[in-house]
Amino acid sequence: MGSWDELCILCGACPEGGPHDLLHPEGIDDYARQLADEIDPYNDDLFDTIRNALKYSIPQKTLLFRAEWLPNGMGSRQYCSDVCVALGYFGKDEGTVPRDRDGIPDGRNVQVRRVTDSSSGDFERVLQETVVQNEDVSAGDESAEEDEVSGEESFEASKLDLYSMCAVAHGSPNIWLHERCYHYMQSWIDWQSLPRFIALPSSGEELSFAGELYEIANSRKQTRDSDTTLLPCVDYDGIEATLEQWQDRFAPARRGTKYLARALHEGLQGKDLFPALLKDFRAWMFMRPDIWPKPLEAIDTTATTVFTTLPINPISAIPLIDTLPNELLLLILRELPLPSLLALSSTCRSLRALITEPSFMDCVLKEAILRGSLKWILPVSSYKDEVQSCYESLRLWHPAVSESCQSDGDLIDESDLNALLVSPQLPRIAFVRACWESDSMMNRKRLWGLVKQFEAVWRSYRLHGWEVDRFYPSAEILDTLQIVQ
């Protein structure tokens, strides 16, 4: 088999970030015929039009080539950094889990490594952070502010040639995630709602986050897929179809021809069809999830949002939800996904009038972003770059807000961001609509949904324990492990 890719247990992308080609060059004719037949089997010209468009995707054989049709933020290293997080046990013998007995070690002493340079599900190097003392460069009449930052400690990462075996194909129980996915899972799981660990009270000491995740991945009745490493109990929305030994091509994830058919109907040809092809191939699942949308044109502060007239469902009585006080109704509506919210508004005229009233909808969206179904829009606070990027985007959504806020070089904290999010001057309806139309934000929403699936599995694990006991006490193998400080 040679080499192969294995996938992040959360997002389903390989360590390099996923596909960089549309489809295999040798399959262009067959694929063009398939697409043409799905759209209109009686249109003979359609095949040639689609085939000519697909030919633009043929990669050039040059080192580090990046296709011009790939949007910024998509494709291999554009999706993520080359750093992953590996969880498990790494022995002195080439980073393998000790195998001198039946079963696998439990999660009590799980190691966490920042790793890089992937190789068929394993990793060849470990990143080790060392503390660096910054020199005091302030002198003379320089500001007191500069004096305060002098002498601060920072961290410098160095690569160690240590092997970390994580490949399911090699039988390893160790798991890995993209570093971003690891932090998303830590941040987005609602730990307050999860029960305390009561199923396996063998030790009073709670397991770490990494230890619990390791046990969840290895105690399921249906074990991780031997090809992809993904968990059968999690719905990855078909991203696993893109793994064909290597995760090189977008085409296997395609569902339908909706966007391509629309683009062809509008008369587009050649490379102009690529945005539609990428949508049908669901390439947005490999778009980096931290690019907040910016307004495409100047914001009209006097404009009002007009909702499409929807047919009112024929019902015999006013729904009970319509009789609730607005304050209580707001708490309910903020938890609804946006499509469900609009669907609810079609149940009766009074709800339609209330929900689509711009000021009430603005309140619902504000609550949904801060505490409800749209919370995935918020940046993860541990990622300062995300906070900064989201802040800069929000500044552009209203000139009055932008002019009164900090400059690009200033350090942003959560209070600055929250001030923009709750500002009555922010056109939230337009902003949320732009998020819904953004490939980056839709992938962020997908990752949020995956984390929530893990949260449900986590709840079951804490309540009921292991589905299958495959573990022995990890304390018995501590002296065989390769420790990285």
User: Residue 6: what pLDDT?
Assistant: 96
Query: How far apart, in whole angstroms, are the C-alpha atoms of residue 192 and residue 185?
Result: 14
Phi-psi region of 35 (alpha: psi -120 to 50; beta: other; left: phi over 0): alpha
pTM: 0.88
Closest listed residue to residue 7, CA positions, set 187, 236, 332:
236
Residue 298, pLDDT score: 60
What angle separates helix 179-188 from helix 439-464, to the nearest 10 degrees?
60
> In this predicted structure, what is the pLDDT of residue 203?
56
Give the residue ranges of the chain where pLDDT is below 70.
Answer: 1, 60-65, 76, 99-100, 130-157, 198-204, 297-320, 322, 399-413, 485
Residue spans per domain, the chain: 1-132+154-288+441-485, 320-437
pLDDT tens-place string over residues 385-399: 999 999 999 999 976
Pairing of strands 153-160, 111-119: unpaired
Strands (E), 93-215: 104-105, 111-119, 122-133, 153-160, 175-178
The CA distance from 51 to 53, in Å, is 5
Q: What is the full DSSP assignment across 214-279?
A: HHHHHS-SSPPPTTT---TTS--TTGGGG-BSB--BSGGG----HHHHHHHHTT--GGGGHHHHHH
pLDDT digits (tens, 9 = 90+) for 233-287: 999 999 999 999 999 999 999 999 999 999 999 999 999 999 999 999 999 999 9
The Cα 467–Cα 465 span in angstroms is 7
CA nearest 157: which of 116, 196, 121, 198? Answer: 116
Residue found under tokens 């089997």: 41
In the DSSP assignment, the letter for residue 467 is S
